[in-house]
Amino acid sequence: MLAALPSAAQAQTEVHFQYGSITNPFAETSTGTVVLTLQHASFWRFGDNFFFVDLTEDGVGDGFNDKDAYGEWYSNLSLRKLGGRDLGFGPFADFGIFAGVAFGADANVLQWLPGARIAWNLPGFIFLNTDFMMAVDGTDGLDGGSPPERDSRFGIDINGLFPFDLGSHSFSITGHAEYFVATTDELGHDVPASILAQPQLRWDIGAENGLFVGIEYQYWSNKLGTEVDESVVQLLVVVQF
């Protein structure tokens, strides 16, 4: 997931606590799972950076989500900032190119994620992006102790932030949804197409933009290359600074 910042902020860091019944797609079981996330977004001279790291523990010693760490990093180059002039017109706010990396400790996975971005200018949104990318396996596959190496595949990710008020209370909807096409691995096995959507509904209960509670809904079709689908609502607490 790529992200951006409200125009008034140059950097923003969040710590998330989530709890829900997460599915192990290999055992086809679901277990109460804690996810702690450190997330950061910041502007720089020619664009923006975004990263997050998830620490996950389900309390079941089965080799899945056992104090697992997973993270992603993206650095985006804004064509508007590079060219020094406004490229926006109509619903388009900006265009960009980015490089990303995703890594997982338990599964020993590494992916390179180069791509391009359309930043939209739509009423009410703090930001709304459509990102087009390739997922390139960065491991040595089975020879390196990783899962079977996958052929590169195309993906698209939509991410945004939409704040709104109900009476005197402030809320927001944020998150992302991604789709990756099917591919094959080094053993010739099919890896099905997948959808991962993680929208969050947040209620600002502290000082403005300080403490949020809410829910994250996670839908994951063909989770982790299996044919298992996941649909789960998780408790969400966010501290923002």
**How would DSSP label each residue in 217-240?**
EEEEETGGGSS--EEEEEEEEEEE
For residue 152, the model assigns a pLDDT of 98
DSSP readout, 40-105?
EEEEETTEEEEEEEEEEE-S--SSSSSSEEEEEEEEEEEHHHHHTS---BTTEEEEEEEEEEEEET
* Length of the chain counted residue by residue: 241
Give residue-wise pLDDT tens across range 94-111. Answer: 999 999 999 998 888 999
For residue 1, the model assigns a pLDDT of 47
DSSP 3-state of 143: helix
Distance CA 23, CA 105 (A): 18
Q: Per-residue pLDDT averaged across 144-170, rounded? A: 96
Domains plus CATH for the chain?
A: 11-240 (2.40.230.20)
How far from chain centre, in Å, is Cα 205?
24
- The answer, yes or no, to whether residue 233 has pLDDT greater than 70, is yes
DSSP 3-state of 141: helix
Distance CA 25, CA 14 (A): 28
- The answer, yes or no, to whether residue 7 has pLDDT greater than 90, is no
